Amino acid sequence: MTLAKTIVIHENGGPEALKLEEWPVGDPGEGEVRIRHAVCGLNFIDVYQRSGLYPLNLPHAMGMEASGTVEAVGAGVKHLKEGDRVAYASMPPGAYCEARVMPAAQVCPIPDEVDFETAAAVMLQGLTVEYLFHRTTPIAKGDTVLFHAAAGGVGLIACQWARSEGITLIGTAGSDEKCALAKQNGADHVINYRTDDFVSGVKEITGGKGVDVVMDGVGADTFDKSLNCLKPLGMMISFGNASGPVPPVNLLTLAAKGSLKVARTTLFTYVADHDRCQDMARHLFDKVASGAIKVTIGQRFKLEDVADAHRALEGRQTTGSTVLTL
């Protein structure tokens, strides 16, 4: 049994709760693999778990996403072998480390055209975009989507994904610079939510009709106004809480605003099924390999500086994806 540098929390709290420790790494059991990490990804779910919004049994290793090389394969694992280049974005947390043993079902092979850094930066965010556009509600060429935080890691991928499929995307962001970045990545229209009312902007852009779908990872600050951006029978997909959890919703409000539909989704429901997870990853990596999706890595931190990475993410000081290097 060897030791691996691992980021752990013993209690919920701010970034200072993240501790670098040496944790033991053993051999994989049935249905497991041992992975030597190359790069780790950083995502808002890590903040939710660290703060206690999404509770963990403590102490617990942190992180949901990484890329690396398979060192050992347990019994019953058919889709991976020793030496494979792989990436994942899945439960249980524990990706902020040099090496780990974990369930193999959601670990996905990386094609030769995709490097470790790109894979670690794109898995959680890219698989999120894949299910938002393909597995939650039908979205067709010519439909219009409102996407909040369009210059974030998920947002920049969503802008490119929409462009690749002929979907009109209206993106919101918190500065003119971030709006310009979203536009460069494929957003058809952008709205600076700090200087302009995005509801009025959406109505102006759509000629008063509204959008077919809203995709909202911001949460409390944007949810209610987003309902006013939808067409009758439109779909509101809430997939994150960057500004805090969404308060309870009165179903009669949805009726009054045009028989609206609402879904509160999480990636881990979609990837829980092995076959679906692998299919989603293949779809994502096909987009990356073809050049339709280019991953913007705006920040790189060393593993031991993960607290600074969390501060930057929570302070909305990041653009694109953030990775932790080993």
Distance, in Å, from the CA atom of 66 to the CA atom of 40, rounded to the nearest integer, reads 4
d(CA 247, CA 17): 27
Average pLDDT rounded to a whole number, residues 150-156: 91
Alpha carbon distance 269, 261 (integer Å): 19
Which residues on neighbouring strands pair with residue 196, listed in sequence order?
A: none
Structure tokens at 133: 């556009």
The pLDDT value recorded for residue 152 is 87
**pLDDT tens across 160-205, in order?**
999 999 999 999 999 999 999 999 999 999 999 999 999 999 999 9
Helices (H), ranges, the chain: 44-51, 116-134, 153-164, 176-184, 198-205, 223-227, 251-256, 267-271, 274-290, 306-314
Burial grade of 164 (CB within 10 A; 0-12, 13-18, 19 or more): middle
DSSP of 44-57, one letter per residue? HHHHHHHHTSS--P
Model confidence at 306: pLDDT above 90: yes
Please report which helix (H) or strand (E) contains residue 119, including its range: helix 116-134
Q: How confident is the model at residue 241 (pLDDT cuts 50, 70, 90)?
A: confident
Q: Quick check: 107 pLDDT over 90? A: yes
Structural domains in the chain, CATH included, are: 2-125+268-325 (3.90.180.10), 137-264 (3.40.50.720)
Q: What is the pLDDT of residues 207-230, one digit of tens each?
A: 999 999 999 999 889 999 999 999
Radius of gyration of the chain (CA): 20
